[in-house]
Structure 1
């Protein structure tokens, strides 16, 4: 028992570590992407603008303080009261009239349709171009570390609570009704119910500080909670809480009296479906294209994963408290139900992966796609352990069916059937030693499921690959005696990384004394922006400071200096989408 507890603690620690990416991911890692600004980032204006307008890839929620425009002294020059623009995907704020010449930085923080905050900044100039440092300004996207951590933990806890509650109820109602009266089953359902309720309340309270980038002190700000209750995220959480509260007396009655009648079972099923839909509709599933299909497939995914997770949790109780005859009657039926759940998980997961990833290249070239691969890897681990458990059930109970009736009649004389330390009892049923091995397998499967849920919590907080992926640019050109190869990724509006490789005529890397890039967009008369390149190794220069504020065909001019006398330039064109 002590060894099992140590294993559980270690693997739960692994699960907690696995959600670190989701907990620690900056709130800007969300679904909406900035697609344009007016005025443009880096623009040199002859006259001051009347307003600043931002355009995003999807609808956003705008608060009064979502956009701030500052001069170089740090003084605000906007009129406040930011609001939505002509489209639901736009945000805007009016500026003071008669702004003097100089550099201005506009910083913004809005909430995307999938309930995550996105933020950033850009600079423009009046009477001339903005200062070089201001043109590359980036808004703070980290928010409060404490709020982000607690919000991630609450999301992870909610997944576990809902999964165990829904799956455990289904297992007990369909496969093991007698287990409803078991004290351990009651404690399991009560704990899962309490965890689901607490997690929902914490998320409801933290959403305001989380989206506004405020600390825990903002919990006392009623306006933040009021804004949450007035948006879709808050509506779905309230629906989940109401369904959980309505289910509480039904679960309590089932624990006292055993299996409820058909009407109450239908009521529990409807409430469970409402909880599953509320979980599926929050986040990426409720934003973007084909929302109906996405929510439906995610609901199936949530229910199927709950069947698997909650069933495993109840099996731990079944193996410790039930008679040999009960175990023999329940496990084969559970094995068949679990196969159906696995099929539903795989099919719904494929639908969602197609919607969120979109291409095979995006699987390996985006953080979202790679994290999905990790999730698939752990799911395969669960399937492997489940296959071994199914094989164990068929081997131990397939040959013992003829003995089950006799075992049931003799149950009073045999006790619970757990006292025999032998692997196989005299009636052909597995003994305590064999069941102990099965319990260890179930515990391992539960630990893997916890890791999968942790990775799921991480994915919810990341930009889907379909939105973030842009094929990297690969190009080559000649610069004097050198061949220059360039890689830029991603080719999307926003920050980009550039790698430049200089190859001498001999085919070996060319040593560089200095390198820099200049980026311009001739069609919009934008730029050039100078970007110094760091010398990483012989023949290799790179930078993560490249910025493309608009889509279009960008001109990249490279200057490569070999020594005090020899410097060569070359130009390439790549497209930003």
Structure 2
């Protein structure tokens, strides 16, 4: 229900430790999960451990499918736009290459829906034939993105066989579809504020598709007569600075939003992936700059040698692009630093009654699973020996009745308990300390949880 996960648990039979393990597809389309441990009746047994699924085969299949989709969107849809709008010669080789990568990407998109369902439900690849797996994969932002990407690939596929006007309209729709598909899901597109990040992802994806899509048609154009090759290159050179500027500006904006701090570049997996990508992009920009400043003027002057050199550098660019897309695919498994839960400082309170004092430290001091450390003393600052301690949390403002757990003794008046604080706000923390079989002390205080 929105940001709330509501569970009606099955009947619990017997005392002891229990685990609630949960897993959902988040707003960015990526599965997230966790586990909450609780005890019933007694706490003298170890808690069972929730095992997290980490199927290397599934993760590899997700990565390969994503790589195929990227190639189809950028090389296929981007190439179709380049041929139609830059008026590059539509050689049969380009139609074959474009159609091939687009068909492969369509198949990968269909397959990725099932893979998304497996990942969302935490199942092994053997469950792929189950209908519920595919239904789960098609839900949410991932399903919307897959539908838009499929439409973009189909438009690109049809544009190869359309006339000039039809090819332009369809290829433009395909390029817009690339941006919309990427902006519909993913870590970056769903980051706050969405009014800024979603358009940035759109611009980043469309600009990248234009640049990457231009490489193969440009390489093929270099095999055309000198004047044809020079005209195509000149038209491309007038447009590409705007695409690169949009690519770099949107990429910088998204990096700032995702990282939040500079040291995340080397202290987080997301940042390390971004660092590798930036190095590869820097090499790609260096080659592009060499082509623009050195080779492009010489191609205009004539001669076959500069065109041969241009084809070779374009091949190098394609290799770098393949590496970049492969690296970017790893972000599927690396949440950005902004999405990682930042450790909140502990919350401390002191409870004082006429017969007892208690120092209570709740770690972390925020909503969610917490660990509660209790130090008991007498009013004279002596260690207080107790036979048992019960801890309860309630929130009358939110209609939450008391949740009670038994703390375990650590010796020297120290006790430890684990509980869950479902929401932030004002809570009532109560301690019932059993001094003897006939003597119990009750104390409570109001606390504020962030």
| Pick aligned residue for 1:185 from 94, 101, 123 | 94
Q: 2:63 matched to 1:152?
A: yes
Q: CA 1:357–1:521 in structure 2 vs 1: closer, same or farther (change >3 Å)?
A: farther
Q: CA deviation at 1:384?
A: 0.9
The 1-side partners of 2:220 and 2:157 are apart by 21
| Pick aligned residue for 1:202 from 95, 108, 111 | 111
User: Quick one: higher RCO (CA 8 Å, sep 6+), 1 or 2?
Assistant: 1
| Aligned positions, number | 372
The 1-side partners of 2:277 and 2:373 are apart by 40
Match of 1:330, SS state, is helix
Q: CA deviation at 1:126?
A: 2.0
Match of 1:283, SS state, is coil
Deviations 1:384-415 (A, max 9, x none): 111111122344146x2xxxxxxxxxxxxxxx
Q: 2:331 matched to 1:459?
A: yes
Contact 2:344–2:366 (CA under 8 A) maintained in structure 1: no
The 1-side partners of 2:289 and 2:97 are apart by 25
Q: CA deviation at 1:224?
A: 2.0
Match of 2:161, SS state, is helix
The 1-side partners of 2:409 and 2:312 are apart by 61
Q: CA 1:472–1:222 in structure 2 vs 1: closer, same or farther (change >3 Å)?
A: closer
| Pick aligned residue for 1:169 from 34, 56, 80 | 80
TM-score (norm 2): 0.73
Deviations 1:441-495 (A, max 9, x none): 111111111111112111133211112264799xxxxxxxxxxxxxxxx999999
Deviations 1:131-169 (A, max 9, x none): 4454xx343131x33222112100111111100122212
The 1-side partners of 2:151 and 2:310 are apart by 38
Q: CA 1:385–1:242 in structure 2 vs 1: closer, same or farther (change >3 Å)?
A: closer
Q: CA deviation at 1:522?
A: 4.6
Q: 2:5 matched to 1:90?
A: yes
The 1-side partners of 2:112 and 2:313 are apart by 33
Q: CA 1:202–1:168 in structure 2 vs 1: closer, same or farther (change >3 Å)?
A: same
Please report the RMSD computed on the Cα atoms of aligned residues, expressed in angstroms.
Answer: 3.3
| Corresponding residue number in structure 2 for 1:302 | 205
Q: CA deviation at 1:264?
A: 5.0
Match of 2:313, SS state, is helix
| Pick aligned residue for 1:220 from 129, 132, 147 | 129
The 2-side partners of 1:453 and 1:164 are apart by 11
- Structure 2 counterparts to residues 279-318 of structure 1, below 5 A: 279-318=182-221
Q: 2:346 matched to 1:444?
A: no
Q: CA 1:120–1:328 in structure 2 vs 1: closer, same or farther (change >3 Å)?
A: same
The 2-side partners of 1:88 and 1:281 are apart by 18
Q: 2:178 matched to 1:275?
A: yes
The 2-side partners of 1:280 and 1:384 are apart by 28
Q: CA 1:89–1:354 in structure 2 vs 1: closer, same or farther (change >3 Å)?
A: farther
| Corresponding residue number in structure 1 for 2:269 | 367
| Pick aligned residue for 2:304 from 428, 431, 434 | 431
- Structure 2 counterparts to residues 20-419 of structure 1, below 5 A: 84=1, 87-96=2-11, 99-129=13-43, 131-132=45-46, 134=48, 137-142=49-54, 144-177=55-88, 179-180=89-90, 182-254=91-163, 260-261=164-165, 265-319=168-222, 321-397=223-299, 400=301
Q: CA 1:369–1:388 in structure 2 vs 1: closer, same or farther (change >3 Å)?
A: same
**Unpaired stretches in structure 2, ≥5 consecutive residues:** 346-363, 376-390, 393-404, 411-417, 425-448
Larger displacement relative to structure 2 (374-383 or 434-443): 434-443
Q: CA deviation at 1:94?
A: 2.1
Contact 1:492–1:548 (CA under 8 A) maintained in structure 2: no
Q: CA 1:371–1:274 in structure 2 vs 1: closer, same or farther (change >3 Å)?
A: same
Contact 1:309–1:449 (CA under 8 A) maintained in structure 2: yes
The 1-side partners of 2:409 and 2:311 are apart by 63
| Corresponding residue number in structure 1 for 2:436 | none
The 1-side partners of 2:297 and 2:141 are apart by 50
